[in-house]
């Protein structure tokens, strides 16, 4: 995943920010061009179509997520692995809030042209959670479902944090999530 720079980078950055606010369909190529400080023609020179632009954007975002989770887990297992992964997601959400919102909004859209590649990478990210859960419960058939649930909790929690109570620290939020995942909710 060679790091993108220059004009391509400005365009991608402008695109996430706008799309996290107005949605992909609500973001025009003209908007993107203006925000990136280039002409519309240049956007089309760098990305052959609007679909291609956002496909690359989402694939990069979810790819980074998968990679980050893999690193965060490392060789850990159990609660330490979980905590490390929760922290990693929260850091990612905090450092790229627009991307987090975009992913949250697009991950369940099933009819987009870029859905198949996106779901592939999504599965890759979830696999890290599945590994941790299955290490503790080798016989449960619902590890994948629970992985999705945990991921949803952290993602929504993270966005919730930044949108509605950005004054809290990452540590506080991480503690809250782990507190919940530790069965203390109604104890």
Distances (CA, A) of 129 to 7, 57, 71, 87: 36, 23, 12, 13
Pick between residue 51 and residue 172 the one whose CB is nearest to DNA: 51
173 DSSP 8-state letter: H
CA atoms of 119 and 59, how far apart (whole Å): 9
93 binds, among DNA, a copy of itself, none (CB under 5 to 8 A by kind): none
15 contact choice in DNA, a copy of itself, none (CB below 5 to 8 Å, kind-dependent): none
Residue 48 in the binding site for DNA (CB under 7 A): yes
Question: Rounded CA gap, 17 and 14, in Å?
Answer: 5
CA separation (Å) from 4 to 8, 35, 60? 7, 18, 10
Query: How many residues sit in the footprint of DNA (CB under 7 A)?
Result: 21
Residue 3 DSSP one-character state: P
For residue 169, the partner it binds in a copy of itself, DNA, none, with Cβ less than 5 to 8 A by kind, is none
Task: Report 7-36 residues binding DNA (CB under 7 A).
Answer: 7, 27-31, 33
- Distance of alpha carbon 153 from the chain centroid: 13
Q: 148-164 as b/e, with b when 16 or more CB fall inside 10 Å?
A: bebbeebbebbbebbee
CA 54/CA 50 separation, integer angstroms: 6
Interior angle at CA 90, CA 133 and CA 100, nearest 5: 105
By beta-carbon proximity to a copy of itself, the closer residue of 6 and 183 is: 183
181 binding DNA? (CB under 7 A): no
Q: Which does 51 bind (CB under 5 to 8 A by kind): DNA, a copy of itself, none?
A: DNA
- Which one among 12, 53, 93, 155 touches a copy of itself, defined by CB under 8 A? 155
Q: Check binding of 145 to a copy of itself (CB under 8 A).
A: yes
Residues forming contacts to a copy of itself in the complex (CB under 8 A) are 21-26, 77-79, 81-82, 101, 104-106, 108-111, 132-133, 136-137, 142, 144-146, 148-157, 159-161, 163-165, 168, 172-173, 175-177, 179-187
Residues forming contacts to DNA in the complex (CB under 7 A) are 6-7, 27-31, 33, 37-42, 44-46, 48-51
């Amino acid at each position: 995943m060679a790091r993108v720079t220059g004009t391509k980078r400005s365009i991608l950055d402008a695109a996430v920010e706008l799309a996290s606010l107005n949605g992909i369909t609500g973001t025009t190529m003209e908007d993107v061009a203006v925000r990136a400080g280039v002409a519309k023609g240049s956007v089309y020179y760098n990305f052959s179509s609007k679909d291609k632009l956002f496909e690359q954007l989402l694939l990069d975002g979810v790819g980074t997520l998968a990679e980050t989770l893999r690193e965060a887990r490392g060789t850990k297992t159990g609660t330490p692995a979980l905590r490390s992964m929760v922290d990693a997601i929260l850091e990612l959400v905090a450092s790229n809030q627009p991307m987090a919102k975009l992913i949250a909004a697009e991950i369940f859209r099933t009819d987009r042209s870029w859905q198949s590649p996106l779901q592939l990478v999504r599965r890759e990210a979830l696999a890290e959670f599945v590994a941790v859960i299955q290490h503790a419960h080798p016989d449960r058939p619902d590890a994948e479902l629970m992985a999705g649930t945990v991921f949803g909790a952290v993602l929504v929690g993270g966005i919730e944090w930044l949108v509605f109570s950005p004054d809290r620290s990452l540590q506080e939020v991480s503690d809250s999530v782990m507190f919940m995942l530790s069965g203390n909710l109604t104890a």
